Structures are given as C-alpha cells and as structure tokens.
Structure 1
Amino acid sequence: IASQLDALKAAGTTRVLILPAYPQYSATTTASLFDAVYHWAGKVRNIPELRFINHYHDDPRYIAALAGRVKRHWQDHGRPDVLLMSFHGVPERTLHLGDPYHCECFKTARLLAEQLGLSKAQYKVSFQSRLGRAKWLEPYTEPTLIEMGKAGVQRVDVVCPAFTSDCLETLEEINMEARETFLHAGGKEFHYIPCLNDDPTWITALCDITQQHLQGWPTQAVPDAAALAASRAAALALGAKQ
C-alpha cells in the first residue's frame, strides 16, 4: 500500500479514493487497510486528499451481482437442497467491542436470499477460518456442513459473499477441505459457487460504486501540458525545490 501511494504521489496525484475489496466492514480487514494508509500518511509532508469507502454490504448493485452469479450456476447445474453462505470468520469479541461485521454479514445474507427467492429453510449462514482457542463468530462452517451431511441433506451449494475474489480461503478451505468434510459426513453432492472475480456485472457495479464516492471531485478535467509547465515555473520562482 505504501509503495503504491508513493507512486501515485510521485505521479502528481492529489486525490485518492480507498476502495476495500471487503464488502462488509470489519476492524480486522477494512480498518487494517485504513490503518496502513494512515501509517503512510503520518510520514508524508504533503498528503493527498483521501476518501475511504467503509462498506457496500447492502448496496443493491453488489447484491444483484451476487444473485446473478448464483442464478447462473443454478441454471447450469440445478438447485441445491440448501445454499450455505460462508463468511470469513473473526473473533467473537470484535462483535462485543462494537464491530458491525457480524450484522453486515447477516444483512448481506438476508438480501441475497430475498433476491434468490429463498425461504429461511433453504439457506444457512456460517463463518469459516477459525484460528486459536478463542471463541469466534458462530455457527462455524465445518460443523454446519457435518450436521447437514448427517441430517440427510443430499446437496449443498456454498457461496462466500465476504470475498469479491477467489483466494486460498475459498479455493482450498471451502472447495477442497469443506467439500471433503460434507461428503465424509454423508452428503452426496457439493458445489462451490465462485466469487464475483471479474464478472462483468460486478465490475460495472464496482465502477458505479466508485463513481458515486468520487462525486464532488473534478475527475474529468485535466490541465494541458503548457498550463502545468507554467504553474511549475511559477512555483519554482517562488522558492519551490521541485
């Protein structure tokens, strides 16, 4: 992050919009990104104007892109007995400290279920990637899959709405380890629905969200080379060093 901000500043950038890849806000993810930006800014003499997008977990364009991804999978492969929405896990204490992540995950799940026309019995929410001995947000993904497999659920589809791009946590932990867990528990069919990645509907939505947060900044008008050269010459004449 610091090196990219250095490069932008060196190129003359005066305004920067920070857009997290995390739809739901968490101190462990979104805020850690902001911390990195603030750390960089604390060492810079002339800071560009900064804006931050905190979240877009309930943005209709994000929800519509998610729903479209799921619907296309179902068109090609049929529908499951249960759709499991598995979110990245965080320690439970973050919820008690005021972190909105838990609530935002459940809101995303509810809105997605509404877009898909699912009843409460047709989808579940869980949290993956628990580490250490501390209690994390529940229900946990792996025990949930084991419970469903033992209960006779034949097919489960899993989608990971906390990730906009596939990574080890989706491709290995879910599509490999979670798959094996469910099938070993008695399930018959496991489908992982890929993240949004470069889906055109999502890229358009991301562009729209970005443009919305850029409002008020002159993003189109660019001074010509002659005007920039004249401005620089005037600054140097007044004592500027570069």
Structure 2
Amino acid sequence: MRQDKPGVLLVNLGTPDAPTTSAVKRYLKQFLSDPRVVDTPRWLWWPLLNGGILPIRSPRVAKLYASVWMDEGSPLMVYSQRQRNALAARLDMPVELAMTYGKPSLKSGLDSLMAQGVNRLIVLSLYPQFSCSTIAAVWDGITKVFAGYRSLPSVEFIRDYAEHPAYIAALKASVERSFATHGKPDLLVMSFHGIPQRFADEGDDYPQRCHDTSEALKAALGLSCQNAMLTFQSRFGREPWLTPYTDQTMKSLPAQGISHVQIMSPGFSADCLETLEEISEQNREFFLHAGGSKFEYIPALNDDPLHIDMMVELVNGRREPDEISRQA
C-alpha cells in the first residue's frame, strides 16, 4: 500500500553566487532568458541581451550587490536559508529550499525531496501576490524537472497568499513596530515590484492581488487613502509598467506637503537588492533630495516568527486533518 509522505519545496527568485561581474552576468542571463520574464521574440531579444544588456548591466549591478552583501552571503539567500531552517523545525516533514534562477536549483530541491521518499509535494513559492512572471515561472520550472522523472509525486501548488490573515497580521506587526520606533509618518507607502502593464491587460491578475494586500493591510492598521498608498517599483525597459511608479512618487511627495514617509515592500518575502538598495537607498535619496525630512524603510518579513507562523499555516492547510492531529 502506498504510504503518504509529504514534503515542502520552498521557492524564491534567486540571486548571484557572488557580488562579481561574472556571477551577476550568469544570473542575469538565466533570469532574463525566461520568456515568463521577458517575452520579446527570441530573434530580437538575444542580440540585445547578449550584445548590450549583459555587458553593460552586469558590472553596474555587481557593484550594487556588493553594497548590500552580508558576511554570510547574498541577503536573499541568507534570509531564505533562515526561513527554510525555521520552517523545517516547525514541521514533521522534509523542507527544501530552491530558487527559480541560480542555486540551489529547482532540480536540486526536487531531487532531494524525492530521495527522501516524498510522494506528496507542497510547493510554497514565497511571492505573496500571483504573477505570470514569478509564480508561473516556478510552475514551468518544476514541470521541466518532472519531464525527466519516471514517477511523479502528487503536487499541491500554493498559488499565492495575498490576503491570508497570518500574512496580513505579520505585515501589520512589522508596521506597528516601525511606527512605535520612528513615530507615525505622514504617509505609509507600500511598494510592490512592477510588471509590464501589457501583462495585466492580457490577464495577469497581479495588480488586483497587490491591491487586495494593500487594502487588507490598510484595514488592519486603520489607515485611509490619505495616509497610505500603493506604488510599483523596479521597472525595466521602455514599455509602460504598472503605475504609480515608486521613484516618481518619492520625488513628488514633498511638494504635496509630505515630509515624513515610511516605506515597505510587501511583495518581497526576504530583503534583497530591490529592497535594501533600490528602496532603502535610492528612493531615500529621491525623497530627501526633493525636500522630504524623514524616510524609514520597513524591512521585509524575512525570518520573523510571525512570518514562519504564516508558512506553517499555509502548509498545514494543504494537509489532511488526521495528519495535523497526529503531529499535535
């Protein structure tokens, strides 16, 4: 009789192995070669990517990574490993970490789980809001790995958790800590990673999921549209992306009488280049240079205990009631 054995694949985007030009170039090439991320026809995109973008961007991006690199490594990898370790300590099942791009790969994570006898796979991608450019890319990557397997596990794929009560509670607690430390700002800015507007026009419900999160968090904090807003960051290329843009917003707020802002990036489950350098450094400079007085970045949830509680709830929600009772 087939005995059920669940296991968790914890997935995030990925990161270069080192803050060097060569490592960043390898990472960016894999990332920007995914049609889920850039869907420009290959005949047009490949010459642009290899002949211009990678040679120009890689040295510049490597310097930015070096500015946020931790003693233990890339921030995203450090926090992701801590998340994996904390989650594994709370569950009676194998938990492996994998990255869509870079190492540890999706294949290495899946191979490890299968070697441990897992036949029911729970995939928890740490992107709170679904997007075809992130969650769907994880799905694509897993199916490519499975193409080489003779036997497959059952798969329970957590699509997203944009409004999950435990997620909103963890965000709420992080904001309240910041308010208690720095004082309540004139405006709380919730900055989400952007996607091309065209993706949304073609059916990606990511913008709605970001709005779902922001509205749920505003309600939990008792904030209104006058003291909290949503923006989108990290645009790339020339076509229109989701608006309002975070950087342009930071430059315009002081002229509107906003002198104190606190900003968070609820779509990032772990601090990384886009939060520690782009938001905490670049956008701080934009706001203060435009005349603002106080700017504080609220860190990602990282390995905060409430964040791990949320992960446990998400995984346990995919388990049979008798399994949970046996663990208790």
User: Under TM normalisation by the shorter chain, which class is it?
Assistant: 0.7 to 0.9
Q: Which amino acid aligns with 2:220?
A: Q
- Displacement of 1:71 after TM fit? 0.4
Measured on the aligned residues, the alpha-carbon RMSD in Å equals 1.6
Give the match for residue 82 of structure 1.
187
Aligned runs of 1:172-187 on 2, under 5 Å? 172-187=277-292
Corresponding position: 1:17 with 2:122: yes
- Displacement of 1:148 after TM fit? 0.2
Q: Which amino acid aligns with 1:181?
A: F
Corresponding position: 1:65 with 2:178: no
Instruction: After superposition, give the CA deviation of every residue in 1:80-129 in whole Å (9 maximum; x if it has no partner).
Output: 00000000010111111111100010110011011111111111110000
Give the match for residue 147 of structure 1.
252
**SS of aligned partner of 2:188:** strand
Which of 142, 153, 159 is the matching residue for 1:48? 153
Moved more, 102-111 or 143-152: 143-152
- Structure 1 distance, partners of 2:319, 2:276, is 33
- Structure 2 distance, partners of 1:37, 1:133, is 31
Instruction: After superposition, give the CA deviation of every residue in 1:118-142 in whole Å (9 maximum; x if it has no partner).
Output: 1111111100000000110001000
Q: Which amino acid aligns with 2:117?
A: G
Give the total of aligned pairs: 222
Which of 2, 21, 34 is the matching residue for 2:139? 34
Could you list the structure 1 runs, at least 4 aligned residues long, displaced by more than 3 angstroms after superposition: 216-221
**SS of aligned partner of 1:17:** strand
TM-score w.r.t. length of structure 1? 0.88
Residue pair 2:123, 2:155 contacting (<8 A) in 1 also: yes
Structure 1 gap segments, 5+ residues each: 222-242
Give the match for residue 161 of structure 1.
266
- Structure 1 distance, partners of 2:140, 2:236, is 23
Give the match for residue 303 of structure 2.
198
Larger radius of gyration: 1
- Displacement of 1:219 after TM fit? 7.3
Residue pair 1:17, 1:214 contacting (<8 A) in 2 also: no
- Structure 2 distance, partners of 1:165, 1:7, is 23
Corresponding position: 1:95 with 2:200: yes
- Structure 1 distance, partners of 2:322, 2:112, is 20
Q: Which amino acid aligns with 1:35?
A: D
Residue pair 1:62, 1:202 contacting (<8 A) in 2 also: yes
Residue pair 2:263, 2:298 contacting (<8 A) in 1 also: yes
Q: Which amino acid aligns with 1:27?
A: C
Give the match for residue 113 of structure 2.
8
TM-score w.r.t. length of structure 2? 0.65
Which of 193, 199, 214 is the matching residue for 2:319? 214
Instruction: After superposition, give the CA deviation of every residue in 1:43-79 in whole Å (9 maximum; x if it has no partner).
Output: 2111111110001001111101100110011111110
Instruction: After superposition, give the CA deviation of every residue in 1:26-51 in whole Å (9 maximum; x if it has no partner).
Output: 00011101111111111211111111
- Structure 1 distance, partners of 2:325, 2:108, is 25
- Structure 1 distance, partners of 2:211, 2:136, is 19
Moved more, 201-210 or 187-196: 201-210
Give the match for residue 60 of structure 2.
none
Corresponding position: 1:122 with 2:227: yes
